[in-house]
């Protein structure tokens, strides 16, 4: 079975059909979750699943499954997939690749009459992007009980339409009993959405997990006063120490290897030309794959910011708004991906994912792993998002080998052929 390969032509043609549903003038895709475009894509996807003789199910979150039975019908499934929704004016690969490459893998198994010991399920997750309904990864989070059904159903888009209404409107409100339950592994092929593979000149990214992060709000409180009469030495300007803090937060990444910090939002009060700012609030996004180092970085940041506040005689308050620990993927899946890349003679490297993916939540119900392929210039969530055809082919070939391994492909002898 070593020579078994996916069909590059067929996979690219399938991706091209998807790329036409919600296409933008600049070559991107605008296919928000549960819209008319998403409905069209879902119908097309189901047609493909049925053509591949898969049994189709839709669950209460609108997730679509296509199941290929294994010899052991009661055995746990090997699940593959990602999402067909996109950002507004997003790219045509993002999650689409993971879903359609999974379909291609099953087509190859069918063409070659390969039986597997364990059943295989392809999944298209609803609303991964979070562009129409926040937060992202809503439906995989639902499967993992990260969000309750009531919470998911009550999420509203900007026009006040709830998630449940949107599901009903496009005819994709399925049943709870259709959710995937008995699942051993989940594997997601995805574009990297970052520049590392391209920079390191590697084709296959073996994803070790998803980087954790903390969102913190920092408030600096000084005193508002008139810009004219107040002497410099009598001011409690909140913005000057805040500016120093922002620089310190950026410099902290030089102290701790692998740390990423971003200040993305700043509010100045009262934000008036001739008034000394009395209050500044800014956000910090802080990421590191090592949970302990990330917590250490937060402590260090607090110390440094407190010192700056003290020197400027202002108050400083730091609150954590949200945090998500690093999710580590299954060693068995990581090993299987590595073996596949080696066997196919593709260059590979291990790395962590910066962004979240459905795999993050699937990791709590299945032994999970992800395969990355390079994104040209690290660009994604953009119409210019691009991955090379040759890398798409290689990523899908790795996925095929991993499925043959984990779903336990039976040899011709075992089948009795
Ligand atoms: Zn994605």
Structure tokens at 183: 């699942």
Residue 190 alpha carbon to ligand 1 centre in Å: 7
For domain 212-324, give the CATH number: 3.30.70.360
Rounded to an integer, the average pLDDT of 252-278 is 96
Residue 7 alpha carbon to ligand 1 centre in Å: 23
- Give the model's pLDDT for residue 417: 47
- Give the model's pLDDT for residue 141: 96
Residue 405 alpha carbon to ligand 1 centre in Å: 25
Is residue 312 a known part of a binding site?
Answer: no
- CA–CA separation, 32 vs 217, rounded Å? 30
- Give the model's pLDDT for residue 209: 97
Best CA proximity match to 382, nearest among 119, 32, 29: 29
Is residue 182 a known part of a binding site?
Answer: no
- Contacts within 8 Å (CB) and 24+ apart, 196-201: 196/349, 196/351, 196/378, 197/349, 197/351, 197/372, 197/373, 197/374, 197/375, 198/374, 198/375, 198/376, 198/377, 198/378, 200/349, 201/347
Is residue 129 a known part of a binding site?
Answer: yes
CB 71 within 8 A of CB 116: yes
Range(s) within the chain of domains with CATH label 3.30.70.360: 212-324
What is 8-210+326-415's CATH number, 1.10.3720.10, 3.40.630.10, 3.30.70.360, 3.40.50.300?
3.40.630.10
Residue 308 alpha carbon to ligand 1 centre in Å: 40
Per residue in 291-303, pLDDT (tens digit) is 999 999 999 999 9
- Give the model's pLDDT for residue 381: 82
The answer for residues whose C-beta is within 8 angstroms of residue 347's C-beta and 6 or more apart is 201, 202, 203, 204, 341
- CA–CA separation, 154 vs 226, rounded Å? 47
Residue 277 alpha carbon to ligand 1 centre in Å: 41
Q: Is the pLDDT of residue 221 over 50?
A: yes
Residue 345 alpha carbon to ligand 1 centre in Å: 26
Residue 89 alpha carbon to ligand 1 centre in Å: 14
382: buried, middle or exposed (CB in 10 Å: 19+, 13-18, 0-12)? middle
- Give the model's pLDDT for residue 398: 98
More confident call, 412 vs 310? 310
Residue 84 alpha carbon to ligand 1 centre in Å: 8
Residue 255 alpha carbon to ligand 1 centre in Å: 31
CB 27 within 8 A of CB 412: no
Task: Give the chain's end-to-end CA distance (angstroms, integer).
Answer: 14
- Strand runs (DSSP E) across 35-106, as ranges? 55-58, 64-68, 77-82
Is residue 323 a known part of a binding site?
Answer: no
Q: Is the pLDDT of residue 350 over 60?
A: yes
Residue 61 alpha carbon to ligand 1 centre in Å: 18
Residue 346 alpha carbon to ligand 1 centre in Å: 23
Taking all residues of the chain, what is their mean pLDDT, rounded to a whole number?
95
Per residue in 125-144, pLDDT (tens digit) is 999 999 999 899 999 999 99
Per residue in 184-198, pLDDT (tens digit) is 999 999 999 999 999
Rounded to an integer, the average pLDDT of 47-62 is 98
- CA–CA separation, 333 vs 209, rounded Å? 11
- Give the model's pLDDT for residue 2: 54
Residue 258 alpha carbon to ligand 1 centre in Å: 23
Structure tokens at 202: 């590697």
CB 94 within 8 A of CB 385: yes
Q: Is the pLDDT of residue 9 over 50?
A: yes
Is residue 94 a known part of a binding site?
Answer: yes
Range(s) within the chain of domains with CATH label 3.40.630.10: 8-210+326-415
Residue 339 alpha carbon to ligand 1 centre in Å: 25
Residue 316 alpha carbon to ligand 1 centre in Å: 37
- Give the model's pLDDT for residue 3: 75
The answer for residues whose C-beta is within 8 angstroms of residue 209's C-beta and 6 or more apart is 289, 326, 327, 328, 329, 352, 353, 363
Rounded to an integer, the average pLDDT of 300-325 is 95
More confident call, 384 vs 159? 159
Q: Which residues pair with 351 in a beta bridge?
A: 207
């Amino acid at each position: 079975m070593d020579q078994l390969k996916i069909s590059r032509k067929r996979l690219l043609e399938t991706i091209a059909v998807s790329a036409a549903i919600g296409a933008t003038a600049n070559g991107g895709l605008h296919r928000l979750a549960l819209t008319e475009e998403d409905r069209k894509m879902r119908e097309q996807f189901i047609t493909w699943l049925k053509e591949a003789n898969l049994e189709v199910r839709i669950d209460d979150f609108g997730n679509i499954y296509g199941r290929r039975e294994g010899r052991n019908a009661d055995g746990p499934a090997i699940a593959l997939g990602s999402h067909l929704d996109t950002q507004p004016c997003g790219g045509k690969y993002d999650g689409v690749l993971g879903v359609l490459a999974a379909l291609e893998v099953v087509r190859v198994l069918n063409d070659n009459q390969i039986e597997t010991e364990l059943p295989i399920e392809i999944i298209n997750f609803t609303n991964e992007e979070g562009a129409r309904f926040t937060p992202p990864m809503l439906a995989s989070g639902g499967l993992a009980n990260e969000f309750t059904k009531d919470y998911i159903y009550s999420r509203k888009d900007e026009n006040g339409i709830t998630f449940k209404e949107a599901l009903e409107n496009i005819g994709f409100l399925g049943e709870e009993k259709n959710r995937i339950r008995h699942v051993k592994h989940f594997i997601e092929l995805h574009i990297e959405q970052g520049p590392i593979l391209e920079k390191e000149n590697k084709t296959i990214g073996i994803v070790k997990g998803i980087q954790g992060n903390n969102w913190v709000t920092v408030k600096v409180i000084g005193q508002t006063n008139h810009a004219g009469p107040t002497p410099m030495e009598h001011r409690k300007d909140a913005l000057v120490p805040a500016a120093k803090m922002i620089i310190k937060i950026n410099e902290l990444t030089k102290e701790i290897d692998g740390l990423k910090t971003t200040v993305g939002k700043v509010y100045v009060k009262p934000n008036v030309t001739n008034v000394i700012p009395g209050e500044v609030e800014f956000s910090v996004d802080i990421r590191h794959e090592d949970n302990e180092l990330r917590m250490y970085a937060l402590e260090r940041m607090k110390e440094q910011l407190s010192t700056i506040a003290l020197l400027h005689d202002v108050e400083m308050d730091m609150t954590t708004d949200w945090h998500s620990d690093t999710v580590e993927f299954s060693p068995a899946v990581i090993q299987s991906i590595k073996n596949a890349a080696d066997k196919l003679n593709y260059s590979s490297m291990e790395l962590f994912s910066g962004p979240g993916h459905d795999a993050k939540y699937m990791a709590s119900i299945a032994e999970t792993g992800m395969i990355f392929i390079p994104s040209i210039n690290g660009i994604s969530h953009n119409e210019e998002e691009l991955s090379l055809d040759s890398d798409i082919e290689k990523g899908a070939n790795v996925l095929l080998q991993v499925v043959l391994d984990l779903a336990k492909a039976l040899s011709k002898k075992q089948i009795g052929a």
